[in-house]
């Protein structure tokens, strides 16, 4: 994880409190029902995109709303309903930005529109005597002025280029997973702010990003059933039989910013059974790494136990020999801050024995009972990572 030098903040839902449902509730009073089917945090129709990109004027936007409602709503009534989304800019967020700017170059990238822009700036000027982002941030990028809205990558690329920012040194904080996903693809570090968090939770009393201080966090992964499709009652003996599970590459991209190391830990007693050789196993793992690198990701290390279960060796899960070897090779690993994702009870017991947080995926009931959290698969876990760390 590179040192963070720059932070790009989202606005609504991160720094400024908003509530989408207020818009639908307000328009419903004028007879326009189910407005949330047209405009919400997760989805909006094309006309709203045009307005947020400054490609539709406010008068034309009001005409469009009237065409939807089939009423003679005034521009003022439409603005009142539309701006009902805006709640407040908390005083603590103003104080936070004063501290954060002392340590990082900070920027704003917001999907907004002219009616909201005028309203929230008026609110902030009444409360603080200034527009908080404009006062504290180096640059503010609003979609209707930039003519690009998230999650289009061109917006991020423009901000990085115009300000000479390296993506790996830049943290993007947003509350929409589709925006986070694109930022990750461009190489930015990210934090998906969930409904359980506030932006102030992410920084210490001096304004430093907390996660940057938490080095040594490692993600340990089982292989069969987590990374690739498990062959029930058999073994993956050649590259042709190795099939990466759907969503795994996306999951690893999402998880990478949260961990200093991503390490594979796998039992492969098929070698000692004579079903395949160490050389064939290496071919499978070389193929796996090649497939992942084609998608711009890779595992940092792979540890394998090839002993038979009957040998009761110290490296076969649930024993912790492979974890101890990883710690020897990567001395900064902190087991107490690390996570193991597996689909079997032996994976979970391995994690418990090593002092690692156990996370289960898949359908094994015994595995689920031993885990701290359970998810459908690795991508499901990645999408909820902030619940676990």
Cite the active site residues.
222, 224
The distance from CA 187 to its chain's CA centroid, rounded to whole angstroms, is 12
Pairing of strands 170-174, 189-192: parallel
What is the 3-class SS of 250-296, one letter each residue? HHHHHHHHHCCEEEEEEECCCCCCCCCCHHHHHHHHHHHHHHHHCCC
Coil, helix or strand at residue 360 = strand
Q: What is the DSSP secondary-structure string of 168-221?
A: GGEEEEES-HHHHHHHHHTT-EEEE--TT--GGGGB-TTS-BGGGG-TT-EEEE
User: CB neighbours of 295 closer than 8 A, spacing ≥ 6?
Assistant: 249, 253
Q: Which DSSP category does 142 fall into? A: E
Paired with 94 in beta bridges are none
Tell me whether the omega of the peptide bond preceding residue 318 falls within 30 degrees of 0, making it cis: yes
CA–CA separation, 214 vs 217, rounded Å?
7
Question: Hey, CA dihedral for 34, 35, 41, 47, is it positive or negative?
Answer: positive
The radius of gyration of the chain's CA atoms, rounded to the nearest angstrom, is 25
Q: How far apart are the first and last CA of the chain?
A: 16
Paired with 302 in beta bridges are 264
CA within 13 Å, CB half, 97: 23
User: CB neighbours of 140 closer than 8 A, spacing ≥ 6?
Assistant: 107, 108, 110, 133, 134
């Amino acid at each position: 994880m590179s040192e963070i030098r720059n932070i790009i903040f989202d606005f609504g839902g991160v720094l400024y409190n908003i509530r989408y449902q207020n818009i639908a509730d307000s328009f419903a009073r004028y007879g326009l029902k189910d407005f949330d089917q047209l405009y919400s945090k997760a989805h909006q129709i094309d006309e709203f995109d045009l307005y947020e990109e400054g490609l539709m004027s406010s008068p034309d936007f009001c005409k469009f709303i009237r065409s939807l409602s089939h009423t003679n709503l005034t521009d003022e009534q439409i603005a009142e309903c539309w701006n009902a989304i805006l709640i407040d800019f908390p005083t603590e967020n103003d104080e936070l930005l004063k501290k954060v700017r002392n340590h990082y170059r900070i920027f704003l990238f917001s999907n907004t529109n002219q009616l909201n822009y005028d309203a929230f700036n008026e609110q902030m000027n009444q409360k603080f005597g200034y527009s908080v982002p404009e006062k504290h941030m180096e640059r503010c990028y609003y979609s209707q002025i930039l003519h690009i809205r998230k999650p289009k990558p061109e917006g991020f690329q423009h901000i990085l280029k115009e300000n000479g920012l390296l993506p790996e040194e830049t943290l993007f904080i947003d509350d929409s997973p589709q925006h986070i996903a694109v930022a990750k693809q461009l190489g930015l570090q990210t934090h998906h702010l969930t409904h359980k968090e506030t932006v102030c939770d992410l920084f210490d009393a001096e304004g430093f990003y907390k996660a940057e201080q938490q080095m040594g966090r490692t993600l340990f992964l089982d292989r069969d059933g987590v990374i690739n499709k498990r062959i029930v009652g058999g073994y993956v003996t050649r590259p042709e039989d190795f099939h990466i599970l759907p969503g795994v590459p996306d999951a690893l991209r999402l998880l990478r910013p949260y961990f200093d190391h991503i390490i594979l830990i796998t039992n492969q007693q098929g070698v000692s059974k004579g079903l395949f050789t160490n050389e064939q196993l290496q071919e499978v793992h070389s193929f796996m790494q090649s497939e992942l690198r084609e998608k711009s990701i890779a595992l940092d290390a792979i540890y394998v136990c090839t002993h038979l279960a009957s040998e009761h060796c110290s490296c076969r899960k649930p024993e912790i020999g492979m974890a101890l070897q990883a710690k020897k090779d990567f001395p900064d690993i902190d087991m107490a801050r690390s996570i193991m994702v597996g689909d079997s009870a032996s994976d979970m017991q391995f994690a418990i024995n090593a002092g690692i947080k156990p996370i289960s995926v898949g359908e094994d009931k015994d595995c689920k009972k031993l885990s701290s959290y359970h998810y459908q698969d690795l991508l499901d876990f990645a999408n909820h990572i902030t619940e676990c760390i």
